[in-house]
Chain A
Amino acid sequence: KNEVEQSPQNLTAQEGEFITINCSYSVGISALHWLQQHPGGGIVSLFMLSSGKKKHGRLIATINIQEKHSSLHITASHPRDSAVYICEHPRPEGAQKLVFGQGTRLTINP
Chain B
Amino acid sequence: GAVVSQHPSRVICKSGTSVKIECRSLDFQATTMFWYRQFPKQSLMLMATSNEGSKATYEQGVEKDKFLINHASLTLSTLTVTSAHPEDSSFYICSAEGQGYGYTFGSGTRLTVV
Contact = CB atoms under 8 A, between A and B. Distances in A.
Interface residues of A, number: 19
Interface in A71-110: 86, 88, 95-98, 100-103
B: interface residue count bin: 20 to 34
A97 B44 contact: no
Contact of A100 (B45, B91, B103, B108): B45
A43 interface: yes
A72 B110 CA distance: 28
Contacts of A40: 107
A42 B104 contact: no
A30 B42 CA distance: 25
B75 interface: no
B57 interface: yes
Contacts of A45: 95, 102-105
Given A41-B108, A41-B110, A45-B103, A103 B49 contact: no
Nearest to B2: A45
Interface in B55-85: 57, 59
Contacts of A97: 46, 59
A48 interface: yes
Contacts of A48: 102-103
A33 interface: yes
B57 A43 contact: no
A44 interface: yes
A41 B91 contact: yes
Interface of B: 32, 34, 38, 42-46, 49, 57, 59, 91, 93, 95, 102-105, 107-108, 110
Give 9 closest A-B pairs by Cβ, nearest first: A43-B105, A41-B108, A45-B103, A96-B49, A100-B43, A98-B46, A42-B107, A102-B43, A103-B43
13 contacts: A41-B107, A43-B44, A43-B108, A48-B102, A95-B49, A95-B57, A96-B32, A96-B34, A96-B49, A97-B46, A100-B43, A102-B42, A103-B43
